[in-house]
Structure 1
Amino acid sequence: MNRISNMQAVSVCVLFLIGSSLFMQNPGNQGADDWLSVLVAWIAYLPLLLLCGRLMKLCPAQDLIGILLKVMGPWLGRFVGMLYVFYAFLIGSMVLRNFGDFCQAVSYTDTPLLVPILMLGVLAIWAAYAGVEVLARTSAVLFVGVMLMFVVVSLLGLSAVKPHNLLPILEHGMLPVLKGGFTSFSLPFGETILLITVFSCISNIQRGSRPLLLGVGIAGFLSVYTSLRNTSILGSDIASSLYFPSYVAISRIHVGEFIQRIEGSSATVFLCALFIKVAVCLLLVSKGTAQIFNLKSYRSLVLQLGLLMIYLSTFVFSSLMQMIEAAGKYYPYFAFPFVAILPLVTWIVAEFRFGRGKRKKA
């Protein structure tokens, strides 16, 4: 079995979570209080994060579908596993569509939507076929570049920050913040459950929850900071009306007449994060399908499933506007069973079947 280090796992986790959510408009945007919604979602997900770590300890060296088969049995486990395969397949398609819409909106306006989607999709197919170890090593390299760009852009952006744009805080009360937090809870933090497929390959699986906590912690900080930066630079009205507020906010940054037009760095970060996210989703879909149908190797499925994911992304939404609307109104309720209810039920059954037995042996 492929083994990865804790730092490589953290890299995958951070890039997976910041994916599209860090650069696209937050579907639960609450104006000047958007950063509070992200903060609430980040804190609210911590108990479920510990639950994921506990599941990995109860079922060591098992990926998500393997845990479901072990805990729920072959029949129910396969059924729930198929639901998660569909969930990951849909997320991968949506992320590919994010990239296609981004390219059409900001630069390649006359390029067919399929072209950028196909380019990213082929890269994801290659990474998923190569396996977890190659994907993790690639993430570790990209992570260094992404964090370096993030720090440089943040320092350069200090001159464009206008703190008064963050006021007033809680103008409309706490309820809108909680509603926005529910959306951010499902997208992106709830998607962490899919990362068990990668974290099951950590060298020291008994400490698998530590890199998971660190990765979500870094991703949460980056998300809160990005929301604060975008609102403080653009203002709440403009930031909430844009599809890609980070790209526009960074385009406003300039130091004298020398350093300006650095928004290309955000596009690079966007591409790196989306590449890892799509590859992880495709890896889970391929490995999960192979486990459900008792196939010897998942690699024979990667190309076909990857091409299907690319195909679905071209019509999963009719427009960028429809995607933002669906992500804010319907997606949180669709995703909640996958990110909260099913993991909680799985943990309860796993504790009953394996936790008590281990304590008795001890």
Structure 2
Amino acid sequence: MDRSTIEKISSKQFRLLVLFFSIGSSILLVPPALIQASKHDGWISGLVGMAIGAGIMLLYMSMMKVCPDDTLFSIFEKSYGKIIGKTVSLFYSFFIFFLTCEVVSNMGDFMTTQIMIETPKMYIHLLFLVPILYGVSKGLEVIGRSAQVIYPTFLILLVFLILFLIPEGEFRNIEPVLGEGVKPVLSGSFSILTVPYLELFILMMIAPHVNERKEVGRAFFIGGLLGGFILVFITFLTLIVMGYSFSSLVQFPTYVLAKKINIADFLQRVEVVAAAVWIISLFFKVAICFYATVIGLSEVFALKNKKILLYPVGVSVLYFSVYIYPNTAFFSMFVTEVILSYSLLFGLVIPLCTLIIIKLKNKKDAIASKGVEGNAN
């Protein structure tokens, strides 16, 4: 890839995009999944999942280091050849596309069950996708700068939420620690491993656009860890404030959690803060997935004008986000029985095989070049 012709973002903007992507829909999906799997030890499962997720991120960082100027799809072509590489890339494009639909559907389910109950999902999705479509059409630089501008607001709202929830908590709600043993903790860790860590390979589609090449891996790692820590801490707050018995029965405990804020019977019902934190991060996750889908398909089909895919992909996301997950019960079943398998395949197995192959190829090329030099001498 010719770095003089691509858009550029700073390492700080890249770190913020990784952070927002990591939180995204995860802030509403991960805490209840951890709590249901590990009960009082949900926060411990989160920490275990973070540790495993750090290993996943190191895998992606190694791929970025080996091919610093290539997107994920370019790396596939280098590793497997043009035909197989494009085929693998096409499957990845479909995976990222359906992930985009899933995240938009999450937002619609939340809004239609908690806030705008009588509003059809289609219109909520449309209002959400229009600014995303506009942002992606303006390019990655605009998305990166927008993340940098909105980050202080996001941080203030998040800190506000945490500071006013801590006094409402009781540490006895997380006792007994490891009361169910180690097995539920380990199995529950897959919740945070699947979302978001096994999805972070999508950020490799924008990693070549970072100005400071030496800072790419560090920015990626810090952003992913910060996002995971926030998810684990929100899970911890949910447990100490609401306890396992109540939070396990609620569909969106993170949102209900904010209703517990009560300062001198004056500051109450500020759950909109939790919704704002979630919607901000969700916006950037959808924007990144949408951008990766468009860029990926344009690379697969060798399109010079990438913008011609914007509206077809946008209309497709709008349609499938409404009809692919007809209700929350179907979505829960789909996530627990299907998503994990595909996430392991696309987020771990194929990247690991790709890294091994490309390192072997680089080693073979290095030996061959040394042999040529030796013969010349």
The TM-score normalised by the length of structure 1 is: 0.96
Per the TM alignment, residue 146 of structure 1 is displaced from its structure 2 partner at its CA by 1.2
Aligned to 2:208: 200
The one-letter code sitting in structure 2 at the alignment partner of 1:77 is G
Matches within 5 A, 1:107-146: 107-146=115-154
Q: Distance in 2 between matches of 1:166 and 1:37?
A: 13
2:46 equivalent to 1:38: yes
Alpha-carbon spacing, 1:355–1:203, altered in 2? closer, same or farther (3 Å): farther
Greater mean deviation of Cα atoms: 281-290 or 144-153:
144-153
2:311 equivalent to 1:303: yes
Aligned to 1:176: 184
Superposed CA deviations along residues 297-325 of structure 1, whole A, max 9, x for unmatched, are 21110111011011101011121122123
Q: Distance in 2 between matches of 1:356 and 1:238?
A: 58
2:92 equivalent to 1:84: yes
Aligned to 1:27: 33
Tell me which structure has the larger Cα radius of gyration: 2
Greater mean deviation of Cα atoms: 98-107 or 65-74:
65-74
What percentage of residue pairs aligned between the two structures are identical? 26
Q: Distance in 2 between matches of 1:99 and 1:359?
A: 52
Q: Distance in 1 between matches of 2:366 and 2:189?
A: 37
Aligned to 1:14: 19
Aligned to 1:336: 344
Task: Specify every segment of 5 or more residues in structure 1 that has no aligned partner in the other structure, as ranges.
Answer: none
On the 8 A contact 2:56/2:197 being kept in 1, the answer is no
On the 8 A contact 1:190/1:340 being kept in 2, the answer is yes
CA RMSD after TM alignment: 1.7
On the 8 A contact 1:230/1:249 being kept in 2, the answer is yes
Could you tell me which of 73, 77, 81 is aligned with 1:73?
Answer: 81
Q: Distance in 2 between matches of 1:359 and 1:324?
A: 51
Per the TM alignment, residue 240 of structure 1 is displaced from its structure 2 partner at its CA by 1.8
Aligned to 1:240: 248
Could you tell me which of 351, 355, 359 is aligned with 2:359?
Answer: 351
Could you tell me which of 221, 226, 233 is aligned with 2:234?
Answer: 226
2:363 equivalent to 1:319: no
The one-letter code sitting in structure 2 at the alignment partner of 1:64 is L
Greater mean deviation of Cα atoms: 29-38 or 309-318:
29-38
Q: Distance in 2 between matches of 1:178 and 1:293?
A: 41
Aligned to 2:8: 3
Per the TM alignment, residue 355 of structure 1 is displaced from its structure 2 partner at its CA by 5.4
Aligned to 2:374: none
Q: Distance in 1 between matches of 2:48 and 2:182?
A: 11
Aligned to 1:165: 173
The TM-score normalised by the length of structure 2 is: 0.92
Aligned to 1:152: 160
Aligned to 1:259: 267
Q: Distance in 2 between matches of 1:307 and 1:17?
A: 25
Q: Would you say how many aligned residue pairs link Structure 1 and Structure 2?
A: 362
On the 8 A contact 2:32/2:252 being kept in 1, the answer is no
Q: Distance in 2 between matches of 1:322 and 1:167?
A: 33
Q: What SS is found at the alignment partner of 1:170? A: coil
Superposed CA deviations along residues 78-123 of structure 1, whole A, max 9, x for unmatched, are 1110111111111100110011111111111111111111111112
On the 8 A contact 1:93/1:312 being kept in 2, the answer is yes
Q: Distance in 2 between matches of 1:65 and 1:244?
A: 35
Aligned to 2:104: 96
